[in-house]
């Protein structure tokens, strides 16, 4: 079987020197479609040397020239977005329409950072001594080690690469082993746009081996990870031990609060669309639907109807709206959450089973009356399960929404400006979206608080993550 040329080190593609290789599956069929070359320590040493040399070149390249190259990369990604989207769907499973948005949208992220990199402004502070100059300069932090997950193979990786490169940093990115091919094509677009050898390096392998080796290396000055809370905690601790700056974008458990003054059918349809996007494998996916008691039954009915109408199938079929999960362990996890919730008293309004077909599918599932002790109420489901719970008043729902250690995204629906303002003020969350889904645009910060991590990707904060501050005081 074909071994993918997966490693980009110092401008050269190879399939790696590790004895181990990974298998890449098509989650719609469960079949192995390719072998993935893994990096071993000698490959990582070459990548570190390349990133060190690349940083030296790239930080001396003007912000204007860096921006020009990045803009060209954005154009190439858009030109190639159909091919990239097909690879996302083949390996990750999401419907082609969603994959197209992801691939085409990557161009927007690159454009944003290309422009923002030209605005890494410092400032001049009035001195106490006549003739002196006090200047604050913003400089690239240095070579970055970045780790991105499989749920959005392109949009999770592009934010790290474009942010680092726009700031003048070099980067070693470890892509997701489940979904390598779209990541490879993304990096090829940067390379073809003129990013010099060594500035952008891509590796795959045994995740813990790679992160452990790279984070400890003296070459690496910044760590960026997107993934689960336990892994983020471990990488953050290691980065702290070596005093490396770190951005952690971890899991969430987003409340979706529906007050009794809304158009129930419209919010239920929007909620179902949001919940089952990418089969629920979205860190900002709504997971706890809190619905005010007076409209609860109508909402459950409308939400279940909208969810049941979603077409589940192979993402390459034009009419598919919900694809398979990315890997078999997510299917097992879904069944365990449902069994546990039902055992402690929840009711099943829809789904709760694997459809009888090959591939890693799980039916869109709606649970109601889910007790707080059900595991799904405190663990991130990361899959196609919606839990709907009734609430009486706003104080109660704010308390419940804030009760978990997560704080990534929160959603609220109301026609009352007083309620909207109260919810925006009181929800403990890095992002609050009121009366729509308004997250993850390139120009807006994306990130969490509490156990959902720290730091932002996107917005001017996303560039800030790759910059340091130098104060220069000068006389004469």
Q: What is the contact surface with ligand NAD in residues (CB under 6 A)? A: 147, 149-151, 176, 207-208, 211, 226-228, 231, 235, 249-251, 283, 329, 380, 382
Q: Which is nearer to ligand NAD, 207 or 445 (CB)?
A: 207
Q: Please give the Cα distance from 111 to 103 (Å, whole number).
A: 14
Q: Which is nearer to ligand NAD, 76 or 235 (CB)?
A: 235
Please provide the DSSP assignment of 39-69 as one string: --HHHHHHHHHHHHHHHHHHHTS-HHHHHHH
Q: Please give the Cα distance from 66 to 140 (Å, whole number).
A: 13
List beta partners, residue 142.
none
**Least distance CB 193 / ligand NAD (angstroms):** 26
**Least distance CB 216 / ligand NAD (angstroms):** 12
Q: Which is nearer to ligand NAD, 349 or 465 (CB)?
A: 465
Q: Residue 121: how many CB atoms within 10 A of its CB?
A: 8
**Least distance CB 266 / ligand NAD (angstroms):** 28
Q: Please give the Cα distance from 294 to 341 (Å, whole number).
A: 24
Q: Please give the Cα distance from 249 to 57 (Å, whole number).
A: 29
**24: exposed, middle or buried (Cβ count in 10 Å: 0-12, 13-18, 19+):** buried
Q: Which of 118, 119, 145 is nearest to 200 (CA)?
A: 145
Q: Which is nearer to ligand NAD, 37 or 168 (CB)?
A: 37
Q: Please give the Cα distance from 370 to 347 (Å, whole number).
A: 7
* 259 catalytic per annotation: no
Contacts of residue 285, Cβ cutoff 8 Å, sequence gap at least 6: 252, 254, 274, 275, 277, 278, 382
Q: Is 344 helix (H, G, I), strand (E, B) or coil?
A: coil
Q: Which is nearer to ligand NAD, 150 or 360 (CB)?
A: 150
**Least distance CB 211 / ligand NAD (angstroms):** 3
**Least distance CB 251 / ligand NAD (angstroms):** 3
Q: Which is nearer to ligand NAD, 85 or 284 (CB)?
A: 284
Number of H helices, E strands in the chain: 14, 21
Q: Which is nearer to ligand NAD, 152 or 299 (CB)?
A: 152
Q: Which is nearer to ligand NAD, 168 or 359 (CB)?
A: 359
**Tokens encoding 71:** 């803009």
Task: Give the containing element (helix H, strand E) for 415.
Answer: none
Q: Nearest 5 degrees, angle CA 397-CA 277-CA 347?
A: 50
Q: Which of 251, 300, 297, 294 is nearest to 271 (CA)?
A: 300
Q: Please give the Cα distance from 442 to 72 (Å, whole number).
A: 17
**Least distance CB 207 / ligand NAD (angstroms):** 3
Q: Which of 178, 249, 379, 464 is catalytic?
A: 249
**Tokens encoding 366:** 């709606």
**Least distance CB 224 / ligand NAD (angstroms):** 11
* 187 catalytic per annotation: no
**Least distance CB 151 / ligand NAD (angstroms):** 4
Cα–chain center distance at 464: 18
Q: Which is nearer to ligand NAD, 150 or 289 (CB)?
A: 150
**128: exposed, middle or buried (Cβ count in 10 Å: 0-12, 13-18, 19+):** exposed
Q: Nearest 5 degrees, angle CA 368-CA 374-CA 379?
A: 105
Q: Which of 283, 379, 380, 457 is catalytic?
A: 283
**Least distance CB 138 / ligand NAD (angstroms):** 28
Instruction: State the catalytic residues.
Output: 249, 283
């Amino acid at each position: 079987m074909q071994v993918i040329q997966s490693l980009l080190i110092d401008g050269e593609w190879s399939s790696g020197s590790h004895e181990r290789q990974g298998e890449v599956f098509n989650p719609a069929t469960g079949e192995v479609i390719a072998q993935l070359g893994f990096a071993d320590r000698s490959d990582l040493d070459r990548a570190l040397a390349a990133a060190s040399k690349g940083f030296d070149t790239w930080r001396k390249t003007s912000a204007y020239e860096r921006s020009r190259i990045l803009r060209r990369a954005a154009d190439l990604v858009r030109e190639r977005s159909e091919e990239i989207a097909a690879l996302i769907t083949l390996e990750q499973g999401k419907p082609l329409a969603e994959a197209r948005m992801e691939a085409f949208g990557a161009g927007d992220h690159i454009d944003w950072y290309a422009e923002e990199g030209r605005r890494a402004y410092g400032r001049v502070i009035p001195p106490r001594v006549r003739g002196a100059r006090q200047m604050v300069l913003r400089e690239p932090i240095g070579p970055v080690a970045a780790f991105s997950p499989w749920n959005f193979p392109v949009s999770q990786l592009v934010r790290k690469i474009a942010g680092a490169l726009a700031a003048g940093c070099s980067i070693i990115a470890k892509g997701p082993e489940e979904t390598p091919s779209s990541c490879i094509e993304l990096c090829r677009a940067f390379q073809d746009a003129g990013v010099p050898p060594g500035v952008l390096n891509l590796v795959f392998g045994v995740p813990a081996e790679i992160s452990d080796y790279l984070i400890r290396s003296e070459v690496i000055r910044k760590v960026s990870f997107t993934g689960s809370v336990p892994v983020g905690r471990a990488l953050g601790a290691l980065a702290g031990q070596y005093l490396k700056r770190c951005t952690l974008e971890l899991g969430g458990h987003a409340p979706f609060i529906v007050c009794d003054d809304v158009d129930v059918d419209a919010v239920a349809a929007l909620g179902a669309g949001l919940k089952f996007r990418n089969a629920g494998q979205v860190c900002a996916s709504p997971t706890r639907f809190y619905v005010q008691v007076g409209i609860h039954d109508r909402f459950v009915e409308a939400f279940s109807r909208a969810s049941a109408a979603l077409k589940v199938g192979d993402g390459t079929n034009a009419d598919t709206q919900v694809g398979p999960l990315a890997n078999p362990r997510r299917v097992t996890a879904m069944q365990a959450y449902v069994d546990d919730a039902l055992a402690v008293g929840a009711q099943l309004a829809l789904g709760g089973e694997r459809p009888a077909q090959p591939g890693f599918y799980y039916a869109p599932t709606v649970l109601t009356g889910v007790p707080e002790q059900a595991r799904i109420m405190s663990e991130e489901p990361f899959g196609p399960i919606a839990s709907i719970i009734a609430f009486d008043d706003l104080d109660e729902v704010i308390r419940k929404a804030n009760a978990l250690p997560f704080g990534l995204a929160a959603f609220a629906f109301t026609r009352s400006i007083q309620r909207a303002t109260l919810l925006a003020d009181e929800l403990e969350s890095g992002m609050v979206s009121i009366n729509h889904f308004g997250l993850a645009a390139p120009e807006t910060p994306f990130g969490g608080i509490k156990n959902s991590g720290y730091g932002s990707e996107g917005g001017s904060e996303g560039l800030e993550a790759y910059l340091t501050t130098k104060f220069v005081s000068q006389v004469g």
